[in-house]
Amino acid sequence: MSSGSIDPSPLLSGDGRRRSRLGGVASFLRRTRTARDPSTLVRESATDQLEERQSGWAYSKPVVALDSLWNLAFVVVAGFVIYMSREEKPVVPLRLWVVGYVIQCIAHVVCVLAEYKRRIRGGGEREDRRHAEAGYGLVPDLEMGLDYGSRPGQGRSEGTSFAKQLESANTMFSFVWWIIGFYWVSAGGQALTQEAPQLYWLCIVFLAFDVFFVVFCVALACVIGVAVCCCLPCIIAILYAVADQQQGASDEDICQLPKYIFRRVGGGGGAKTNGGVITKIGSDPPIEHSLSSENVECCICLSQYDDGVELRELPCTHHFHCACIDKWLHINATCPLCKYSIVKTNDGEQEEV
């Protein structure tokens, strides 16, 4: 049965569970960053991106239509079986459980359609996020990316929709209702196959579908969590392929960022090094910056900088491999560490995306 905090569907509820699971991944990363590891902050930012894009995809027109049709199909099947089994008299109130299940399906469809219409009228969840995060990340400091849980306006954007609140209530009820149904089916035992075979197998199918969706969504969340932690460049490449160009930076914005050549110093070229020096490309006289041994690693791909590799430095002074950060900026025009925006307004000021 559905146990997520967003989507209460007792049938096709995978979208809400994935959304809540991704939120759980982000929360887990926040709780495990006590060492203030920059690579953890980058992965948290990637998780937030996945969560935001999945939320928008879950309320796209094709998915909403499929979700509604799927749930209504189960409502029709349940109604048909109830009618055909009107002579059956089970020892436990399976018919009542099926009726309650149908009510959950209808309530879910109503909530999804109401939220879908609200997003269309209000410009979508993406605009809510942009307004909620306005003014955030204007200070180019790593510490600004350490308390995502208290972003201004976040509670407002999540709490204004009555449909979402109703979904949460339906989710809690559906979880309890699934337990009740499982108990009644178990208590009835094999006698139900003789006394009320149609109602019995209908309940079994409904309960099995719920278990399937829960297992599927948990497995998907685990795969996404492992991929974000261990193979972030692959996740960024996928996001880049489906990126909304209105959200990310343009090629012109990215090309304006300075590029540097990295040169390793000390350590004899081995794993242990005293750091390195980056030299700005095209500068005359050469502009150089020293990097400590802790800063000679790309926080996105977790690979150490090799001699002669090209790096790109953001206005907040954070630097990454050009290939890594360019794809990220096409997805989101902010630094993955401190959320500092690289997009310039007409007045030349930095703005937050």
pLDDT digits 0-9 by tens, 240-284? 666 555 567 788 888 888 888 888 886 554 445 567 888 888 777
Asked whether the predicted pLDDT for residue 353 surpasses 60, the reply is no
> Do residue 96 and residue 223 come from a single domain?
yes
> Do residue 63 and residue 210 come from a single domain?
yes
- Give the pLDDT band of residue 42 (cuts 50, 70, 90): low
pLDDT of residue 274: 64
Residues 190 and 89 sit within 8 Å (Cβ to Cβ): no
Taking Cα atoms as reference points, which of 144, 120, 42 lies closest to residue 350?
144
Asked whether the predicted pLDDT for residue 128 surpasses 80, the reply is no
Least confident of 4-18, 53-67, 68-82, 272-286: 4-18
CATH number at 268 reads 3.30.40
Instruction: Domain of residue 266: give its range.
Output: 251-331
Express as a percent the part of the chain with pLDDT over 70.
63
> Do residue 59 and residue 205 come from a single domain?
yes
Instruction: Kindly state whether residue 271 falls inside one of the protein's structural domains.
Output: yes
Q: Which residue has the higher pLDDT, 270 or 328?
A: 328
pLDDT of residue 39: 62
Among 230, 264, 282, which residue terminates a domain?
230
Instruction: Kindly state whether residue 349 falls inside one of the protein's structural domains.
Output: no
> Do residue 41 and residue 185 come from a single domain?
yes
pLDDT of residue 301: 81
Alpha-carbon distance of 107 to 165, in angstroms, equals 12
Alpha-carbon distance of 154 to 157, in angstroms, equals 5
Element (H, E) at 252: helix 251-255
Report the chain's mean pLDDT, rounded to a whole number: 73
> Do residue 280 and residue 204 come from a single domain?
no
Instruction: Kindly state whether residue 176 falls inside one of the protein's structural domains.
Output: yes
Asked whether the predicted pLDDT for residue 313 surpasses 80, the reply is yes
Asked whether the predicted pLDDT for residue 144 surpasses 60, the reply is no
Alpha-carbon distance of 74 to 146, in angstroms, equals 45
Per-position DSSP letters for 49-66, written without gaps between them: HHHHHHHHHHTSHHHHHH
Omega of the bond prior to 285 within 30 degrees of 0, cis?
yes
Taking Cα atoms as reference points, which of 178, 41, 170, 22 lies closest to residue 97?
178
Would the pTM of this model clear 0.75, i.e. be above it? no
Q: Write the burial class of residue 237 (CB in 10 Å: 0-12 exposed, 13-18 middle, 19+ buried).
A: exposed
> Do residue 180 and residue 225 come from a single domain?
yes
Among 171, 195, 230, which residue terminates a domain?
230
Query: If you average pLDDT over residues 47-69, what whole number do you get?
Result: 76
Among 230, 263, 287, which residue terminates a domain?
230
> Do residue 126 and residue 21 come from a single domain?
yes
Q: How far is CA 112 from CA 21, 84, 106, 172, 175, in A?
A: 19, 30, 10, 16, 18
Taking Cα atoms as reference points, which of 111, 108, 118, 43 lies closest to residue 72?
108
> Do residue 226 and residue 298 come from a single domain?
no
Asked whether the predicted pLDDT for residue 113 surpasses 70, the reply is yes
> Do residue 294 and residue 220 come from a single domain?
no
Q: Hey, which of 2-16, 42-56, 174-188 has the most confident mean pLDDT?
A: 174-188
Q: Which residue has the higher pLDDT, 320 or 42?
A: 320
- Give the pLDDT band of residue 50 (cuts 50, 70, 90): low
Q: How far is CA 334 from CA 13, 267, 343, 351, in A?
A: 32, 34, 8, 9
pLDDT of residue 146: 34
Instruction: Kindly state whether residue 352 falls inside one of the protein's structural domains.
Output: no
Asked whether the predicted pLDDT for residue 201 surpasses 80, the reply is yes
> Do residue 313 and residue 215 come from a single domain?
no
Query: If you average pLDDT over residues 138-148, what whole number do you get?
Result: 36
Instruction: Kindly state whether residue 28 falls inside one of the protein's structural domains.
Output: yes
Domain total for the chain? Answer: 2
- At CA 21, angle to CA 15 and CA 129, rounded to 5? 75
State how beta strands 276-280 and 259-264 pair: antiparallel
Q: How far is CA 142 from CA 89, 213, 348, in A?
A: 66, 39, 22
Query: If you average pLDDT over residues 96-116, what whole number do you get?
Result: 91
